[in-house]
Amino acid sequence: MAMTLRLTEDEQAALQARAEAEGMSMQEAARRAVREFVAGADHRERVALAAEKVMRSHADALRRLGE
């Protein structure tokens, strides 16, 4: 799928500099950034769900520790 990505001049300059430093095209650098953004969000959601589960299963102990 093709799409147009509109960047500010500063964003484009930063992307170009990072892409050059990594030895890749700006397109590949942008695609990598999208993949990392999505993976990071997925990870944060899994951590939040795990924390909720622990808090529910240990609610009594956590309450007593807070006293």
Domain annotation covers residue 2? no
pLDDT of 30 reads 96
Model pTM above 0.85: no
Range of the domain at 30: 11-66
Domain annotation covers residue 50? yes
Task: Show the 3-state SS of the chain.
Answer: CCCCCCCCHHHHHHHHHHHHHHCCCHHHHHHHHHHHHHHHHHHHHHHHHHHHHHHHHCHHHHHHHHC
The number of domains in the chain is: 1
Domain annotation covers residue 4? no
Tens-place pLDDT, residues 1-49: 888 999 999 999 999 999 999 999 999 999 999 999 999 888 888 888 8
Domain annotation covers residue 20? yes
pLDDT of 28 reads 96
Domain annotation covers residue 6? no
pLDDT of 10 reads 98
**62 vs 12 pLDDT, higher one:** 12
Domain annotation covers residue 18? yes
Torsion angle defined by CA atoms of residues 38, 42, 48 and 54, in that order, rounded to the nearest 10 degrees: -160
What mean pLDDT do residues 44-61 have? 88
Domain annotation covers residue 5? no
